[in-house]
Structure 1
Amino acid sequence: MKKIIFYAFMLLAPAAVWTGCQKGNNYPGGQISPVMPIMDVKSIYKGTDVTLDTKNMAGSHQVSGIVISDFSAGNMPAWLLVLQDHRRLSKYQGIAISLGTEAAKYTSGDSVTIEVAGGVLKRMNGILQITNLPAGSVTKIASGRAAGITQATTTAVLKDPAFYESTLVAIVKGSFDPLPVATDQFSGDKVLTDGYDNLTFHTEATATFASNVPPINANYYAIVFNTVGANGSLTPQLRVRTLADINVLGSSIAPLIVSGFINDVSGTDGNYEYIQLLATRDINFAETPFAVVVCNNAGASTPVGFPTNGWATGGGSVTPATTFKTFKFNLTSGTAKKGTFVYVGGAAKTINGPSSTSIASSNWIRSFNYTTQDGDGFGTRNGGFFANSGNAFGMAVFSGTNVTKDTEPIDVLFVSTGGSLYSAGPPVVGYKITTTDFYDTVNPITLQSQPYYRQGSNTVALSYTTPADAGFFYKLGGVYNARLGKWIKARSQQTIILTKTSTLTEIEGEFPAGSGIVPTALKD
């Protein structure tokens, strides 16, 4: 009987569903947005002119966004209204609209919607743009809207100029090559570098700031436009709209900078780890002392949790054995010549752990057996002042030996990102940074203060090397200009594997020969 009832139900069910569908068949369906994301509009272009219509725009017929062009200083390409949105993947994308004299009616911060169906998407003078639009195509919605900015390196823009085209980008800590002198002007094409690569920076001869002298160091907020090379490749150039797009930065020379280190030697680490530093001027450490502080944020580090006293947290114990949070070396004796390397670390003074080449003849400014001796002022003796894997460790150089939670270092680097590193609080807790090739005390996009690692945009870190116990030396490369007090080529993670018979030239010169793996260099 149960089977009969079951089969009867199965026969009736489709009819019931069909009836239900018939009664409720009034769902209007999804409606296509009239606005197509700019990223999608740009993707329609395949190298030849194309007329936009609702077919190739998948039912849409408009673009909408915030205007980023500004004609007030006379440095924008004539006739082009430039707007951007971030409708697709939350990434800012821009497009140029050819409007003739109408383009100057709109300025940065205007919110507009543009009817583009019937317009022609084409590349003219190297710039992808929508042309052939009738009068009245643009509808202004509002004014004073914030135009988003994409922070980008010169390398990123060069790698994908089509992606960044007609988009407002921030090139951080930029300077011109060659460096400006008092008689230089913005006018024309110049080479702008941020320490990663070079981009063309263009200023119209008729721009209101064309005759101004460029700054030595600045953040540049510019629109990317492209030109087309002889081989058809896109070559990006940058244009700022007004002088307000140039945020001049100060320069502060760091007399001592981190140029390399070894955190995991081959064999026992205790008493064998060291940091290599480059002197950017002649230094008498007895007259102008410094301090080097390392931090270890392994789960076993004590005190547990966030570093309540920043770089001065100290901690660790012998019984029971726990790892310190921070450990300090005072540099109070010895001298260093400008452009030479000095070393801080264990008393063994070997290049790669036990039974390896002695480098005791190098300029060791501070070395002691940290397995039996506590740090200079804070940090308990330990079996290794660097972590080898997992959570972050870092190193910072300070002017003077009095380091507190509020002391700003003169150079700082971190490896990895894990652990209790930063808390917004209140109170705010973390490791102070300074403006370097990796970090910014002021966010270049929001202009908000961000004096701690892992705060705001301060998220850059080197990576752990594997396998463990291999003897990797981090040779950081980079070029520091001592006259300007800035990095003109950013440091990068270059690692070489040392052996027991490695020599000093491997960490102080190019190694392997012809590899391009070079040490940090100084330039005036």
Structure 2
Amino acid sequence: MKKIIFYSITFLSLALTWSACKKSNYPGGVIGDYVPLYDLRNLYKGSDVTLTNENMFGSSSITGVVISDHSGKNLPEGLLIIQDKRRLGLIRGISIPIGADAAKYVPGDSVGIKVEGAILKRVNGILQVTGISSSAITKIASNVPIPPNRVGSSFILAKPNDYESTLVAIVKAGFEPGAGPNDTYAGDKTINDGFDNFTLHTEATATFANTGGLNFNGNYYGIIFNTIGANGVLKPHQRMRTIKDAVALSSTPDIASAIITGYMADAEGGDGNYEYMQFMATRDIDFEVTPFCVVVTNNAGASSPTGVFPTKGWATGADALKTPVGLVARTYKFNLTSGKVSKGEFFYVGGSSKLINGSKSKSIASSKWIRSKDYTVATPANAPAGNGDGFGLYTTGLFANSGNASGFAIFEGTTVDVNTAPIDVIFVGGGGSLYNAPSVGYKVANTDFYDKINPITLASQPYYRSGENTLCFNYQLPADQGFWNKLGGIYNPSLGKWIKARSQSDINLSTSSTIEDIEGTSLVRILNAVTGEYIRTDTIPPTRLK
């Protein structure tokens, strides 16, 4: 027994001694042959890097799917361009100069490339792995799917290194200025996708350089490259590979005569008769000649009809003749049938109090009110006083101000039924019974937030919460604080689109606030289609800039 104990202790001591003497950084996993392109790009810190097994974390190769296509002769000559998303699901790309052999590879080819001993460096602004021979490249597969990667231009401009040598789709983009009948793709063209202006570059030698008929609105697929500007700053641009990378979405503008620029959904104190909405005209409008209407939707849990989807869309109203008096209707309508507004002028629709922020605040009655109504008046369901213009019951609150969605839309004309789509619309929140596929819900307009047709898949998505139409603004807390919801952006009426998407900025109004607090700080600008000037409404009075 003593011998057994002795040998056990001896063997345990030897094992502990061996493990103590052995030094290892082994993390418990197997080191792969391929270093992710995310990690590879991060090795570059501004000066050339010789790639070694050590600085590539034990790897010696890279792999990815080919995105370059040299048949259109618009990419930098001799560059094989691949991308992967092996680290954190983030797409990263790299360019490899291999000369004429780059043209042998086509999009969808999967390749492995031995890069140990090569040099990572920037050449003409593009990060490249240089010193690679064609024999170091192994084709693994063909026809590998490349899912579309939709990226707003502002994100690329903010982080050009992240998107360099990757294939991106710049979606719903138009040319700035608008393309003429004789314009071609050749050279540097400015496109705008509602996020920012971006450069679309086409070489003079590209097979489609002299192609005309530029899209009014389209998707542009292409590879992002950088040049080095002043102070070493990277300047990104996109290059289509072939003319097939330009996908037309529309050939004519869909111009909204009025756009939504702000709203008061939760005034200081009680909301009844103090909620209102702000719009801006993009052309001169005489509402007596060309009437419009505004519809508000409230999908709070108690809104009638409760617990069901809006089978009549924006025209749902209370959707029941016997709805008990006092319940909130799902939608409430205001008809705009009198008054005039000029292009670039704000106008208002809402409660008859015309106060800026609740019962104790200042009057803004001197502003352009096209329709005001005391929507709180308690009347039977079949009486008109406090009810909507055509549908909707009197209520103490037009907006939900909760987790369930509310919102509003403006329509041309005063007839709204299940098939009617607005010219502009916004939603606040996403909860509640809003959309029941395939054809029950609130129809949308083509805006900075929504698309009737999915611009990538081209599938129909005419309702809020259908397809990709899920964006919304937020409820601002705390409640009853009196936040003015300012929606700032840049709308171009000649293009019929937002060239700078709206963003929500909440201004905490007081009872002493004045009209300048909601009109003088708006960031909405209208581009005059005739003069080419911007009407800036962030000054009092509005000013024009070249």
TM-score, length-normalised on structure 1? 0.87
Residue 97 of structure 1: aligned partner: 96
**1:168–1:221 CA contact under 8 A, matched in 2:** yes
The residue correspondences of 1:445-464 to structure 2 (distance < 5 A) are: 445-464=456-475
**1:477–1:521 CA contact under 8 A, matched in 2:** no
Corresponding letter in the other structure for 1:323: V
Corresponding letter in the other structure for 1:56: N
Q: Deviations over 1:311-337 (max 9, x none)?
A: 222228874743322222222333332
Q: Is 1:281 matched up with 2:292? A: no
Corresponding letter in the other structure for 1:300: A
**2:196–2:499 CA contact under 8 A, matched in 1:** no
Q: Deviations over 1:266-294 (max 9, x none)?
A: 22211111111112222232333222111
Match of 1:412 among 408, 420, 425: 425
Task: Report the Cα offset of residue 48 of structure 1.
Answer: 2.0
Corresponding letter in the other structure for 1:462: F
Residue 180 of structure 2: aligned partner: 181
Corresponding letter in the other structure for 1:69: S
The residue correspondences of 1:380-395 to structure 2 (distance < 5 A) are: 380-395=393-408
**1:476–1:519 CA contact under 8 A, matched in 2:** yes
CA–CA distance in structure 1, aligned partners of residues 408 and 509 of structure 2: 21
Q: Deviations over 1:177-204 (max 9, x none)?
A: 3333334332222333323323232111
Residue 109 of structure 2: aligned partner: 110
Would the alpha carbon gap of residues 124 and 326 (structure 1) be closer, same or farther in structure 2, given more than 3 Å must change? same
**2:78–2:98 CA contact under 8 A, matched in 1:** yes
Q: Deviations over 1:108-147 (max 9, x none)?
A: 2222222222322211111111121122222223333322
CA–CA distance in structure 1, aligned partners of residues 509 and 342 of structure 2: 26
Residue 87 of structure 2: aligned partner: 88
**1:476–1:491 CA contact under 8 A, matched in 2:** yes
CA–CA distance in structure 2, aligned partners of residues 423 and 81 of structure 1: 46
Residue 315 of structure 2: aligned partner: 312
The residue correspondences of 1:254-403 to structure 2 (distance < 5 A) are: 254-303=256-305, 304-315=307-318, 319=324, 321-372=326-377, 373-403=386-416
**1:475–1:519 CA contact under 8 A, matched in 2:** no
Residue 508 of structure 1: aligned partner: 519
CA–CA distance in structure 2, aligned partners of residues 61 and 322 of structure 1: 69
Q: Secondary structure at the match of 2:87?
A: coil
Give the ranges of 4+ consecutive aligned residues of structure 1 lying more than 6 Å apart after TM superposition.
none
Corresponding letter in the other structure for 2:304: T
Q: Secondary structure at the match of 2:134?
A: coil
Larger mean Cα displacement after TM superposition, 481-490 or 213-222: 213-222
CA–CA distance in structure 2, aligned partners of residues 178 and 271 of structure 1: 44
Q: Deviations over 1:140-177 (max 9, x none)?
A: 23333322232222221111111111111122222333
Match of 1:438 among 449, 452, 458: 449
**2:178–2:495 CA contact under 8 A, matched in 1:** no
CA–CA distance in structure 2, aligned partners of residues 115 and 353 of structure 1: 69
Task: Report the Cα offset of residue 522 of structure 1.
Answer: 4.5
Residue 75 of structure 2: aligned partner: 76
**1:396–1:413 CA contact under 8 A, matched in 2:** yes
Where does the alignment leave 5 or more consecutive residues of structure 1 unmatched? 1-7, 19-28, 512-516
CA–CA distance in structure 2, aligned partners of residues 140 and 404 of structure 1: 58
Residue 224 of structure 2: aligned partner: 224
**2:326–2:394 CA contact under 8 A, matched in 1:** no
Larger mean Cα displacement after TM superposition, 192-201 or 233-242: 192-201
**2:249–2:455 CA contact under 8 A, matched in 1:** no
**1:478–1:521 CA contact under 8 A, matched in 2:** no
Q: Deviations over 1:449-505 (max 9, x none)?
A: 222222332222222223322222222222222222112222221332333333323
Task: Report the Cα offset of residue 236 of structure 1.
Answer: 1.2
CA–CA distance in structure 2, aligned partners of residues 428 and 35 of structure 1: 48
What number of residue pairs does the alignment pair up? 494
Q: Secondary structure at the match of 1:92?
A: strand
CA–CA distance in structure 2, aligned partners of residues 520 and 371 of structure 1: 34
Task: Report the Cα offset of residue 217 of structure 1.
Answer: 2.6
Q: Secondary structure at the match of 2:70?
A: coil
CA–CA distance in structure 2, aligned partners of residues 320 and 36 of structure 1: 68
Identity of aligned residues (%): 54
Task: Report the Cα offset of residue 263 of structure 1.
Answer: 0.7
**2:172–2:455 CA contact under 8 A, matched in 1:** no
**2:491–2:524 CA contact under 8 A, matched in 1:** no
Task: Report the Cα offset of residue 49 of structure 1.
Answer: 1.8
CA–CA distance in structure 2, aligned partners of residues 48 and 305 of structure 1: 62
Would the alpha carbon gap of residues 178 and 133 (structure 1) be closer, same or farther in structure 2, given more than 3 Å must change? same
CA–CA distance in structure 1, aligned partners of residues 30 and 453 of structure 2: 44
Residue 234 of structure 2: aligned partner: 234
Q: Secondary structure at the match of 1:207?
A: coil
Would the alpha carbon gap of residues 501 and 371 (structure 1) be closer, same or farther in structure 2, given more than 3 Å must change? same
CA–CA distance in structure 2, aligned partners of residues 367 and 36 of structure 1: 64
Residue 126 of structure 2: aligned partner: 127
Corresponding letter in the other structure for 1:506: D
Would the alpha carbon gap of residues 313 and 88 (structure 1) be closer, same or farther in structure 2, given more than 3 Å must change? farther
CA–CA distance in structure 2, aligned partners of residues 519 and 83 of structure 1: 41
**1:479–1:523 CA contact under 8 A, matched in 2:** no
Q: Secondary structure at the match of 1:475?
A: strand
**2:316–2:330 CA contact under 8 A, matched in 1:** yes
Q: Is 1:422 matched up with 2:428? A: no
Would the alpha carbon gap of residues 291 and 72 (structure 1) be closer, same or farther in structure 2, given more than 3 Å must change? same
CA–CA distance in structure 2, aligned partners of residues 348 and 290 of structure 1: 22
Residue 506 of structure 2: aligned partner: 495
Larger mean Cα displacement after TM superposition, 469-478 or 181-190: 181-190
Would the alpha carbon gap of residues 148 and 117 (structure 1) be closer, same or farther in structure 2, given more than 3 Å must change? farther
TM-score, length-normalised on structure 2? 0.84
**2:153–2:170 CA contact under 8 A, matched in 1:** yes
Corresponding letter in the other structure for 2:279: L
Corresponding letter in the other structure for 1:455: S
CA–CA distance in structure 1, aligned partners of residues 346 and 448 of structure 2: 19
Residue 21 of structure 1: aligned partner: none
Corresponding letter in the other structure for 2:514: T
